[in-house]
Amino acid sequence: MALPRAQRRAAIFLGAPFFVLFAVAFVAPILDALYNSLLKTQHSGYLGLGGSRIVFAGLSNYWLALHEPEFLASYGRVLLFGIVQVPVMIILATVLAFLLEMLSRRWSSFFRATFFLPYGVPGVIASILWGFLYVPGVSPIISLLHDVGISPDFLGYHEVLWSIANIVVWEFTGYNMLIIVAQLKAIPRDLIEAARADGAGTWKTNLHIRLPLIRPALILTVVFSIIGTLQLFNEPQVLITYSPYITSSYTPNIAAYNQAFTDNNVNLASAEAVILAVVAAALSFGFLSLVNRRPR
Residue whose C-alpha is closest to residue 231's, from 141, 168, 144, 173 = 168
Q: Does 241 bind other proteins (CB under 8 A)?
A: yes
User: What phi, psi does 60 have (nearest 5°)?
Assistant: -65, -30
Whole-angstrom distance, CA of residue 115 vs CA of residue 103: 14
Q: Write the CB contacts of 151 (distance below 8 Å, at least 6 apart in sequence).
A: 136, 145
Q: Does 273 bind other proteins (CB under 8 A)?
A: no
- Least distance (Å) between residue 69 CB and other proteins: 10
Residue of the chain from 88, 247, 283, 287 that contacts other proteins (CB under 8 A): 247
Q: Does 196 bind other proteins (CB under 8 A)?
A: no
Q: Does 156 bind other proteins (CB under 8 A)?
A: yes
C-beta of residue 96 within 8 angstroms of C-beta of residue 118:
no
Closer CB to other proteins, 153 or 284, in the complex: 153
Closer CB to other proteins, 50 or 76, in the complex: 50
Stretch in the footprint of other proteins (CB under 8 A) among 77-85, 246-254, 275-283, 286-294: 246-254
CA distances from 262 to 254, 265, 287 (A): 11, 8, 35
- Least distance (Å) between residue 295 CB and other proteins: 19
C-beta of residue 152 within 8 angstroms of C-beta of residue 111:
no
Whole-angstrom distance, CA of residue 239 vs CA of residue 6: 54
Closer CB to other proteins, 221 or 253, in the complex: 253
Closer CB to other proteins, 183 or 265, in the complex: 265
CA distances from 259 to 174, 248, 262, 275, 277 (A): 34, 9, 6, 14, 16
x-marked contacts with other proteins along 5-34 as a string, rule CB under 8 A: ------------------------------
Closer CB to other proteins, 193 or 263, in the complex: 263
C-beta of residue 233 within 8 angstroms of C-beta of residue 250:
no
Q: Does 70 bind other proteins (CB under 8 A)?
A: yes
Q: How many residues at the interface with other proteins, by CB under 8 A?
A: 42
CA distances from 56 to 11, 260, 276 (A): 41, 18, 22
Q: Give me the helix-helix angle, 105-120 and 69-101, nearest 10°.
A: 160
- Least distance (Å) between residue 157 CB and other proteins: 3
Q: Does 48 bind other proteins (CB under 8 A)?
A: yes
Closer CB to other proteins, 229 or 265, in the complex: 265
Residue whose C-alpha is closest to residue 172's, from 100, 77, 284, 90 = 90
Q: Does 157 bind other proteins (CB under 8 A)?
A: yes
Q: Does 54 bind other proteins (CB under 8 A)?
A: yes
Which residues lie near other proteins (CB under 8 A)? Answer: 35, 38-39, 41-43, 46-56, 64, 70, 132, 135-138, 156-158, 241-242, 244-245, 247-249, 258, 260-265, 268
